[in-house]
């Protein structure tokens, strides 16, 4: 792919109201997980990563508040395309009308004139990778100097929690093999490659037949397909990757899938191959996952605490969709 520079970020999470605060907390392994206002079927409080706001709001209004803050933190001046990642359409308990109007409500609240190339990607965790592919086109073909990729999501919705608890996907007092629900908004400003910048250099997609509930044995085929496609897109190999950022969030399935990809993909043994999992601090943040990962990688590159210049980010959708992104700090080996 034609490289994209990650130039600025914004975040609002359960561990911080800004990107610097959130990234510092994630680096220090601060967990923003606490009892929520929801109870499980065993009568115990569900634990999750709720974002505290000065004025308590819920539902659509909270998504707006989170997204306004994250996008506003990194929105460049001028008429900029904003690519907004939202929960997948089939998510149980999904709030109504998000695709039709949320983007333009954000523009109004930010007093910004979003470019007409702005659009929504309603595909949950995988949406961020789809938005990056579109951002590449907007920067290199439509010649936009800046594009913002943002994501906002919450799993702290009654019907959503009830549905995932019924499927035994949620971590509760009766189920330890589940995810912790969270909420967040994150955004990154992207542009043409710059000297010394963190670059997005590869994007790949795959399809996993053995996704949760399919009954098929998990071999990690879909995520491996996505990772190999992203590495080929970047013109590199697994062996040139220094660390990974994963969307795994407590479920054994996600951890096993990530391990299978490394076991099958690596050709040379590494003494260390760190994997960072922001969801351990934030809970499951869905459509905000990729922007969060990019912001975390940007902070690590700029503050020089990344294990090396090469990063592989990977995400998995509930429907079997898989995506991987290769990042590299310009000037790195």
HEC string of 19-83 equals: HHHHHHHHHCCCCCCEEEEEECCCCCEEEEECCCCCCCCCHHHHHHHHHHHHHHHHCCCCCCCEE
* Domain C-terminal end among 145, 169, 192: 192
Q: Is 314 exposed, middle or buried (0-12, 13-18, 19+ CB in 10 A)?
A: buried
What is the per-residue pLDDT for 333?
A: 40
Residue that terminates a domain, selected from 154, 174, 192: 192
At 59-72, the pLDDT tens digits run: 999 999 999 999 99
pLDDT at 244: 97
Q: Sign of torsion, CA 101 103 104 106?
A: positive
pTM of the model: 0.96
Domain match, 77 and 99 both: yes
Claim to verify: residue 233 and residue 322 sit in the same structural domain? yes
Radius of gyration of the chain (CA): 18
Place of tokens 């983007």: 103
**Based on the domain organization, do 160 and 217 belong to the same domain?**
no
Helix/strand/coil for 198: strand
- Structural domain total, the chain: 2
Can you read off the two tokens belonging to residue 232?
């080929």
Beta strand 147-154 with 183-192: parallel, antiparallel or unpaired?
A: antiparallel
Q: In the listed set 135, 167, 192, which residue is the last one of a domain according to the structure?
A: 192
- Residue 213 has a pLDDT of 67
Closest CA to 329 of 309, 311, 313: 309
Polymer length of the chain: 333
Q: Which residues of the chain have pLDDT under 70?
A: 213-214, 332-333
Condensed to tens digits (0 to 9), the pLDDT of residues 215-239 reads 788 889 999 999 999 999 999 999 9
187 and 80 share one domain: yes
The pLDDT of residue 214 is 66
According to the model, what pLDDT value does residue 70 have?
99
CA angle 199, 234, 9 (to 5 degrees): 25
On whether both 59 and 163 belong to a single domain, the answer is yes
How far is Cα 69 from Cα 325, in angstroms, rounded to an integer? 25
- How do residues 273-295 score in pLDDT, each as one tens digit? 999 999 999 999 999 999 999 99
Backbone angles phi, psi at 27, to 5 degrees: -60, -40
Do residues 219 and 321 both lie within one domain? yes
Tell whether 50 and 143 lie within a shared domain.
yes
Same domain, 224 and 168: no
User: Beta strands 147-154 and 243-246: pairing type?
Assistant: unpaired
Pair 94, 155 in one domain: yes
Q: Are residues 154 and 211 in the same domain?
A: no
Do 158 and 276 fall into the same domain? no
Check which CATH number belongs to the domain holding 187 and give it. 3.40.47.10
Residue 310: which domain range? 198-329
Residue 314 and residue 242 share a domain: yes
pLDDT confidence of residue 197: 97
């Amino acid at each position: 792919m034609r490289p994209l520079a990650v130039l600025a970020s914004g975040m609002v999470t359960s561990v911080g109201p800004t990107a610097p605060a959130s990234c510092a907390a994630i680096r220090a392994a601060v967990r923003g997980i606490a009892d929520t206002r929801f109870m499980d079927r065993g009568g115990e409080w569900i634990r999750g990563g709720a974002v505290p706001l000065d004025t308590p709001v819920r539902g659509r209004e909270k998504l707006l508040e989170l997204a306004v803050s994250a996008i506003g933190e990194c929105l460049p001046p001028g008429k900029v395309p904003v690519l907004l990642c939202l929960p997948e359409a089939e998510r149980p308990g999904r709030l109504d009308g998000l695709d039709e109007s949320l983007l333009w409500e954000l523009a109004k609240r930010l007093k910004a004139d979003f470019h007409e190339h702005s659009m929504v990607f309603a595909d949950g965790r995988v949406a961020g990778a789809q938005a990056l592919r579109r951002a590449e086109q907007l920067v290199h073909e439509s010649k936009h100097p800046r594009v913002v990729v943002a994501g906002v999501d919450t799993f702290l919705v009654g019907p959503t929690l009830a549905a995932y608890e019924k499927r035994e996907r949620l971590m509760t007092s009766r189920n330890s093999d589940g995810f912790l629900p969270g909420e967040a908004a994150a955004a990154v400003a992207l542009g043409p490659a710059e000297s010394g910048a963190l670059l997005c250099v590869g994007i790949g997609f795959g399809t996993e037949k053995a996704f949760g509930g399919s009954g098929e044995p998990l071999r990690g085929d879909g995520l491996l397909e996505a990772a190999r496609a992203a590495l080929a897109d970047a013109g590199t190999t697994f062996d040139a990757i220094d660390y990974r950022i994963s969307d795994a969030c407590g479920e054994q399935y996600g951890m096993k899938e990530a391990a299978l990809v490394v076991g099958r993909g690596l050709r040379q043994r590494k003494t260390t191959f760190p994997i960072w999992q922001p969801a351990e601090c934030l809970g499951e943040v869905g459509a905000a996952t990729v922007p969060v990962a990019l912001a975390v990688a940007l902070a690590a590159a700029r503050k020089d605490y990344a294990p090396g210049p090469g990063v592989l980010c990977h995400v998995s959708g509930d429907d079997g969709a898989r995506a991987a992104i290769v990042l590299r700090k310009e000037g790195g080996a």
